[in-house]
Amino acid sequence: MSTVFHLSFPIGNIPEAKRFYVDGLGCEAGRESPRSLILNLGGHQIVAHVVEMLGPRQPSIYPSHFGLTFASADEWTHLLERAQSNSLTFYQQPKHRFKGERIEHRTFFLEDPFHNFLEFKHYVYPSAVFGETQYSQVGDARA
């Protein structure tokens, strides 16, 4: 078995989480209890936990967000079109960052019903995912 990333995050209720993550994004639902739901997000395990009181909404995408980095532009575009056709809430519309540079990528951010931010991106140069250390830019300066 290969390594699978795991992330847990807060939600307000299971039905809304299912509408966003399963129906909207296309995640596969796994085990479920009255207070938690396991989801497959791109082959990784994310676990939504119901909390009594959600924390305050972050003023921007920083410091916390999660998502996927796609290996192909077609996969990124497919999810973008799915999010649009399912009327998911975009926190940031699709962008093309750092055009012409080795860290060039396309990205968009969604906001789930519980104010969790999700980023989905595709790098033109795969080496930018963990490399290209000569660059100091990470994300948006004013996000």
- Percent pLDDT > 70 in the chain is 97
Looking at residue 142, what is its pLDDT?
A: 60
Could you tell me which CATH class the domain 6-128 is placed in? alpha beta
Looking at residue 138, what is its pLDDT?
A: 75
b vs e for 104-141, b when ≥16 Cβ sit within 10 Å of the residue's Cβ? bbbbbbbbbbbbbbbbbbbbbeeebeeebeeeeeeeee
DSSP 8-state symbol, 19: I
Residue 113 — pLDDT band, cuts 50, 70, 90?
Answer: very high
Name which of 91, 92, 101, 94 is nearest 76 in CA terms.
Answer: 94
Average pLDDT, the chain: 93
How many CB atoms lie under 10 A from the CB of residue 74? Answer: 10
- Judged against a pLDDT cut of 90, whether residue 29 lies above it is answered with yes
Looking at residue 129, what is its pLDDT?
A: 81
Q: Tokens for 64, please give them.
A: 């916390």
Considering the entire predicted model, what is its pTM? Answer: 0.91
Looking at residue 141, what is its pLDDT?
A: 61
Instruction: Say how far apart CA 114 and CA 17 lie, in whole Å.
Output: 8
